[in-house]
């Protein structure tokens, strides 16, 4: 359905939106969208940095069970 809108259809939609909401409302809305995108990018970069820092600080843990005295004699 949306594949055959074309450039004239998009221009008509843009004009209708501009008439309904006004230029000031649209510019403030786009400013909020920009702030949201910036905040999202900042959160993603901080999260990935935190994961990298956490991976660097953790040493490889030995998860093998400790052998009991009886088991040591068998080996």
- What residues does each domain of the chain span? 9-44
Q: What averages of pLDDT result for each successive group of 10 residues across the chain (75 residues)?
A: 80 90 86 94 91 72 69 57
Q: Are 26 and 17 in contact (CB under 8 A)?
A: yes
Q: Would the pTM of this model clear 0.95, i.e. be above it? A: no
Q: CA 46 to CA 51: how far, in whole Å?
A: 9
Predicted pLDDT at 51: 83
Predicted pLDDT at 53: 79
Number of H helices, E strands in the chain: 3, 0
Predicted pLDDT at 68: 67
Predicted pLDDT at 39: 95
Predicted pLDDT at 26: 84
Q: CA 17 to CA 20: how far, in whole Å?
A: 5
């Amino acid at each position: 359905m949306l594949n055959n809108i074309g450039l004239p259809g998009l221009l008509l939609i843009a004009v209708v939106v501009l008439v309904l909401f006004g230029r000031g409302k649209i510019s403030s809305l786009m400013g909020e969208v920009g702030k949201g995108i910036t905040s999202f990018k900042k959160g993603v970069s901080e999260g990935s940095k935190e994961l990298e820092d956490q991976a660097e600080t953790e040493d490889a843990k030995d998860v093998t069970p400790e052998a009991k005295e009886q088991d040591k004699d068998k080996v």
